[in-house]
Chains A and B, each alone.
Chain A
């Protein structure tokens, strides 16, 4: 039997950390609960449960925004990334500039910019369609996703040994065939962990949309707190929201690490 590898040092995605964070939040809620009951007000847990359906629909919007921004950004980013390795210098330069611009812009500023630069409504073939705030915010998040995916693609392609290109070329493959059959299939495995990491970051950035007036989980939590007008609810309610994001993002982080680990073992 092979010797058991030594236990790795505690990391921030260790289950024990998750347990610790959950404990702290619950503890804070528990203390607030005790105080509330003493003061004769409805308990903190009941109040949170009362608002959960509403804030839950907001959270669904966070997930939808992140999923749409990620899907659209990935498609655009793949194209932009391939342009970055184009043989045509103007294409390469243009896509590089676009990538760098959106990669180095603060996401919140991009959101504001998109909210104001995009029209409120468009008329297509005589039909007038309103573009809701959340959709414009989603587009705002799509841009940095696109730029980051573009860099992930470029990095993955460049990380492959040049011998792969040479071998394919010497076998008569043209550039498109080489990319499609030799280079990109190998890149896929390399791109998956950073791509999932990016998704987790996008999810965690969706509350930024609350600042530009999108009624997602963060905005609804603030709304609920305004309605309750109770200072003792501030920490437990924001804590519950934190937990909801953590519960959604942490499995993604775990899966990413598992994939990275598997890739290392195979290599």
Chain B
């Protein structure tokens, strides 16, 4: 097996007196989709934020391809063009249209050619099934549509890894599906994806690996078939029991 694309080793992180991550390790191979599930406050979102250096770690090492994220001399722009992130609250820029949201970072951060960026952005809007909404402002779009623009915005940086932080948690049940279909398509095309999610059905269907976290540690993990059939740890069983 080749070297993993994302590698997390013994990562610890505290906010004040609360230790949120107590030595977390995991590896993600290129093209894999992994789902991280677990109760609120178990450190799932913090783990994703550590991977793209939004949150500095206290101890441990994280690498993405040949970039050492935990290196103090980290080139953040180089990291972020390879790691895209989508948030629970979409976080689109409300003063810019959908298309402008998608184009901004490649234009101003990567300083790429405008025609090239625009062609790519329009293709991505089609890909997330939002053709015709290019000129709409985020406030004019539904939650599910905004989240798909957010996905297109991240993809326009042409990342190698996508991080999804509970991206369907703020959506109406009927719009959850349109966002999940978009992510499933991405995973099937071979995009490396790390998802923090409460959508167990989606995890079972799409993930190559499922990890369960609780109180700052990864309790257990494995391929979804095995993971959902039988759990070694009582905490995992109890948590999954809430969903079945």
Q: Does B associate with A?
A: yes
Does B76 have its Cβ within 8 Å of any Cβ on chain A? yes
Pair B104/A170 contact, Cβ less than 8 Å: no
User: Would you call B80 and A171 a contact (CB within 8 A)?
Assistant: yes
CB of B115 closer than 8 Å to a CB of A: no
Interface: A161 (CB within 8 A): yes
Indicate if the CB atoms of A171 and B104 lie closer than 8 Å.
Answer: yes
Residues in B whose Cβ lies below 8 Å from that of A161: 89, 91
Partner of B157, one of A163, A164, A171, A182: A171
Residues 186 to 244 of chain A near chain B (Cβ within 8 Å)? 186
Taking CB as reference atom, which chain A residue is nearest B49? A166
B110–A170 touching, CB < 8 Å:
no
CA distance A168 to B108 in the complex (A): 11
Question: How many angstroms from the CA of A210 to the CA of B98 in the assembled complex?
Answer: 54
Closest B residue, CB atoms, query A160: B94
- Chain B interface size range: 20 to 34
Asked if B181 lies at the interface with its beta carbon under 8 angstroms from chain A, I say no
Chain A residues with CB under 8 A of B12: none
Contact between chains at A172 and B94 (CB < 8 Å): no
A266 in the interface (beta carbon within 8 A): yes
User: How far is B80's CA from A170's CA once the two chains are assembled, in angstroms?
Assistant: 6
In whole angstroms, what is the CA distance A160 to B76 when docked?
23
State which of B83, B85, B109 has its C-beta within 8 Å of the C-beta of A177. Answer: B109
B227 within 8 Å of A (CB atoms): no
For residue B81, CB closer than 8 A to chain A, the reply is yes
Best-buried of B80, B81, B94, B154 by chain A (most CB within 10 Å): B94
- Residues in B whose Cβ lies below 8 Å from that of A185: 95
**CB-CB under 8 A for A181 and B104, given A163-B87, A170-B54, A172-B80:** yes
Q: Is the CB of A164 within 8 A of B91?
A: yes
Could you say which interface size class chain A belongs to?
10 to 19
A164-B91, A167-B87, A266-B139 given as contacts; is B54 within 8 A of A172 (CB)?
Answer: no
With A164-B93, A166-B54, A186-B94 in contact, do A172 and B85 touch (Cβ < 8 Å)?
no
- CA distance in complex: A170, B92 (Å): 12
Which B residues are in CB contact (< 8 Å) with A182? 93
Task: Answer whether residue A173 sits at the interface, using C-beta atoms and an 8 A cutoff.
Answer: yes
- Give the chain A neighbours of B154 by CB distance below 8 A: 170-171
In the bound complex, what is the Cα–Cα distance between A163 and B83 (angstroms)?
Answer: 17
CB distance from B184 to the nearest CB of A (A): 22
Give Cα distance in the complex from A168 to B52, angstroms. Answer: 12
Question: Is A169 on the interface with B (CB-CB < 8 A)?
Answer: yes
CB distance from B93 to the nearest CB of A (A): 6
Q: Is B87 in contact with A171, judged by CB distance below 8 angstroms? A: no
* Chain B residue, CB-CB nearest to A266: B139
Verify if B105 is at the interface (C-beta below 8 Å from A): yes
Asked if B77 is at the interface of the complex by the 8 Å CB criterion, the answer is yes
Among the interface residues A163, A172, A186, which one has the most CB atoms of the partner chain B within 10 A?
Answer: A172
Sample of 4 more A-B contacts, CB < 8 Å, known A170-B84, A172-B110: A164-B93, A167-B91, A172-B77, A185-B95
Q: Which residues of B contact A (CB under 8 A)?
A: 52, 54, 76-77, 80-81, 83-85, 87, 89, 91-95, 104-105, 108-110, 139, 150, 153-154, 157
User: Which residues in A have some Cβ–Cβ distance to B below 8 Å?
Assistant: 161, 163-164, 166-174, 177, 181-182, 185-186, 266
